[in-house]
Amino acid sequence: MPNPKTLISEEDIKARVEELAAQISLDYADKEEIVLVGVLKGSFIFLADLSRRLSIPRHIEFIAVSSYEHGSVRSGAVRLVMDVRRSIEGKHVLIVEDIVDTGHTLHYLIDMLKSRNPASIRTCTLLHKEHATEVDVKIDYLGFAIGDEWVVGYGLDYDEKDRTLPYIGVINPDD
């Protein structure tokens, strides 16, 4: 398979992550601490870069979910595979996602974490497929809006491949 075609370059990702970190640092400047909840596996590289650029006290947690799939058709149901390790009650939570596609995953996570009474809950995603949305979710911090195509790299995969590409690429499954 040829290398995926570049959609967003390494330089553009770096610049945008810096902007997001600056905005988040500003918005949470008066808070004691922010709890970043990275959604595994896709967000691990974005979270690593974003968290290191924040200028505010931060605590890192991870959560893992899986989408129920019937054959190749997504049902929209989401299952919790791994939970955070520390209580988020009274904390300022920022969910960090790689990509919002239909919106079901983020919708599920917001609902679930909200029920644990955090002081606040916001969402940050590197990518959003605007035209694939099935459920509306509020995205507070967005890296880039993209088209409805399968992207890989910077943490995102296709069948576990291409997660460590330094840029966001588009794959053509027919290649």
Q: Which of 49, 61, 98, 101 binds Mg ion (CB under 5 A)?
A: 98
- By CB under 6 A, residue 42 contacts ligand IMP: yes
Q: Which of 121, 143, 10 is nearest to 63 (CA)?
A: 121
| Structure token pair of residue 78 | 């989401």
Q: Which of 28, 36, 50, 105 binds ligand IMP (CB under 6 A)?
A: 105
Q: Which is nearer to Mg ion, 39 or 152 (CB)?
A: 39
Alpha carbon separation from 87 to 19, 65, 96, 113, 116 (Å, rounded): 29, 18, 17, 10, 8
- By CB under 6 A, residue 104 contacts ligand IMP: yes
Q: Which is nearer to ligand IMP, 91 or 104 (CB)?
A: 104
To ligand IMP, the closest distance from the beta carbon of 76 in angstroms equals 8
Count of chain residues binding ligand IMP (CB under 6 A): 15
Judge contact between 151 and 6, C-beta under 8 A. Answer: no
CA-derived radius of gyration, the chain: 16
Count of chain residues binding Mg ion (CB under 5 A): 3
* Segment lying near ligand IMP (by CB under 6 A), choices 8-16, 25-33, 110-118, 148-156: 148-156
Judge contact between 96 and 46, C-beta under 8 A. Answer: yes
Taking 3-state DSSP, the helix, strand and coil percentages for the chain, each rounded to the nearest 5, stand at 25, 40, 35
- By CB under 6 A, residue 99 contacts ligand IMP: yes
Q: Which of 4, 42, 118, 155 binds Mg ion (CB under 5 A)?
A: 42
What is the CB neighbour count within 10 angstroms for residue 25? 15
Which residues sit at the interface with ligand IMP, rule CB under 6 A? 42, 67, 97-105, 150-151, 156-157
